[in-house]
């Protein structure tokens, strides 16, 4: 079981039966292969080869991304330039979507999807001691943070947006209020975790976090396994996809009707949809739903 690489058996059962809605701290189980598969030496070796796809590498300091021209030459990572910005400029290195270019990551994320029915991806972060990469933000999926080296402090605040989803009220959207940062600084975090090697933090979607390595004396390395929460909206989207097999949904709506009488268009489509959904019973949709859950690609990686 892939979750057993990250959690003890009791926590694994709790996660699959009661999806987390509050942060919690755990420990990697004894003998977990995760540190050997994704440890600092492994990640540094990939960076030193220059074989990491440039599109899957971000270099960040204090919440601002560095122009890739500083470390990309001829469409490939330039290892010597990257080492300079990492070690001299104090930037955080963010390796995105390891599952798309590192086979062990693909194996683990695929196993997690088969076990949970959740799409997801894997990222790695390397932050120099005393520095900070990303600043205050929230995510739109559950994160499992695994600390591999050094320490990282996670300052957490309760959600200001209830259950955000991908492309819906993200922390980089118009909903973001810059004054919140000052308020969070004034009040202090609701929860603070200091992660040490082997610690595992469950971070539910929507929780505001401000992670940093200001107290670490050595480089901080952590992984973030993302698991995309399944919701009734996702189920509805899967059910309606089958409507393409019904010819009535494929008929053309002429431009004149669409522009001059949109209310009628909406009413007719709604009636058509209600009729379709009335006949879309569990027996005809369950199999496809379960198949989609374990095989679809995460939208963030598409």
Q: What is the CATH number of the domain that holds 75?
A: 2.60.120.650
CA distances (Å), origin 212, targets 8, 88, 123, 154, 156? 27, 18, 16, 7, 12
Is the confidence at residue 44, as pLDDT, over 90? yes
Mean pLDDT of the chain: 93
pLDDT at 205: 96
State the DSSP code for 33. S
Is the confidence at residue 38, as pLDDT, over 80? yes
Domain that holds residue 193: 2-230
The sign of the CA dihedral 138, 139, 145, 148 is negative
Is the confidence at residue 281, as pLDDT, over 80? no
Examine the domain organization and report whether 184 and 277 are in the same domain: no
The Cα–Cα gap between 172 and 177 comes to 10
pLDDT at 242: 82
Average pLDDT of 221-225? 98
Examine the domain organization and report whether 182 and 280 are in the same domain: no
pLDDT at 21: 95
pLDDT at 27: 98
Q: 302 falls in which pLDDT band (50, 70, 90)?
A: low
Examine the domain organization and report whether 27 and 58 are in the same domain: yes
Average pLDDT of 22-48? 96
pLDDT at 133: 95
* The last residue of a domain, from among 230, 247, 281: 230
Q: Which of 71-85, 122-136, 162-176, 253-267 has the lowest mean pLDDT?
A: 162-176
pLDDT at 1: 61
Which residues partner with 152 through β-bridges? 195
Examine the domain organization and report whether 167 and 41 are in the same domain: yes
Average pLDDT of 262-291? 87
Is the confidence at residue 68, as pLDDT, over 90? yes
Pull the structure tokens for residue 35.
């540190």
pLDDT at 168: 83
* Owner of token pair 């440890």: 39
pLDDT at 172: 80
Examine the domain organization and report whether 36 and 91 are in the same domain: yes
Average pLDDT of 154-183? 90
Task: Give me the percent of the chain exceeding a pLDDT of 70.
Answer: 99
* The last residue of a domain, from among 230, 260, 283: 230
The Cα–Cα gap between 131 and 110 comes to 33
Examine the domain organization and report whether 156 and 293 are in the same domain: no
pLDDT at 220: 97
Examine the domain organization and report whether 68 and 23 are in the same domain: yes
Structural domain count, the chain: 2
256 or 152, greater pLDDT: 152
* The last residue of a domain, from among 180, 203, 230: 230
Give the DSSP H/E element, type plus range, for residue 300: none
pTM score over 0.85:
yes
pLDDT at 169: 83
Examine the domain organization and report whether 252 and 267 are in the same domain: yes
Task: Give me the percent of the chain exceeding a pLDDT of 90.
Answer: 79
pLDDT at 28: 98
Q: 258 falls in which pLDDT band (50, 70, 90)?
A: confident
CB-neighbour burial class of residue 223 (10 A; exposed 0-12, middle 13-18, buried 19+): buried
Which residues partner with 147 through β-bridges? 222
Is the confidence at residue 136, as pLDDT, over 90? yes
Q: 300 falls in which pLDDT band (50, 70, 90)?
A: confident
Examine the domain organization and report whether 35 and 146 are in the same domain: yes
Examine the domain organization and report whether 216 and 238 are in the same domain: no
Examine the domain organization and report whether 142 and 18 are in the same domain: yes
Examine the domain organization and report whether 31 and 127 are in the same domain: yes
CA distances (Å), origin 108, targets 15, 19, 268? 17, 20, 46
Is the confidence at residue 263, as pLDDT, over 80? yes
Average pLDDT of 67-72? 95
Show contacts of 229-237: CB within 8 Å, 24+ apart. 229/19, 229/118, 229/141, 229/142, 229/163, 229/165, 229/205, 230/117, 230/118, 230/293, 231/163, 231/165, 233/165, 235/289
Closest-CA residue to 143 (of 97, 200, 192) = 200
Average pLDDT of 201-209? 97
């Amino acid at each position: 079981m892939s979750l057993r690489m990250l959690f003890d058996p009791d926590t694994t059962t709790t996660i699959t039966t009661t999806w987390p809605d509050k942060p919690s701290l755990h420990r990697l189980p004894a003998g977990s292969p995760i540190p050997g598969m994704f440890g600092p030496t492994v990640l540094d070796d990939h960076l030193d080869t220059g074989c990491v796809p440039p599109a899957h590498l971000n270099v960040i300091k204090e919440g601002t991304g560095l122009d890739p021209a500083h470390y990309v030459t001829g469409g490939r990572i330039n290892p010597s330039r990257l080492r300079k910005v990492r070690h001299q400029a104090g930037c955080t290195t963010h390796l995105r979507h390891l599952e798309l270019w590192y086979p062990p990551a693909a194996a683990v994320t695929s196993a997690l999807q088969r076990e949970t029915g959740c799409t997801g991806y894997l990222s790695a972060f390397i932050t120099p001691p005393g520095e900070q990469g990303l600043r205050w933000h929230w995510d739109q999926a559950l994160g499992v943070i695994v600390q591999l080296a050094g320490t990282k402090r996670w300052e957490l605040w309760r959600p200001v947006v209830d259950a955000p989803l991908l492309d819906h009220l993200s922390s980089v959207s118009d909903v973001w209020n810059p004054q919140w940062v000052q308020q969070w600084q004034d009040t202090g975090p609701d929860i603070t975790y200091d992660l040490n090697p082997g610690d595992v933090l469950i971070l539910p979607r929507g929780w505001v976090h401000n992670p940093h390595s200001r107290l670490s004396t050595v480089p901080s390395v952590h992984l973030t396994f993302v698991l995309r929460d399944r919701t009734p909206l996702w189920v509805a989207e899967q059910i309606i996809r089958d409507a393409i097999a019904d010819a009535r949904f494929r008929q053309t709506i002429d431009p004149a009707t669409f522009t001059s009488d949109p209310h009628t268009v909406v009413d007719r489509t709604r009636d058509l949809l209600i009729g379709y959904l009335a006949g879309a019973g569990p027996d005809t949709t369950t199999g496809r739903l379960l198949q989609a859950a374990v095989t679809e690609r995460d939208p963030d990686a598409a």
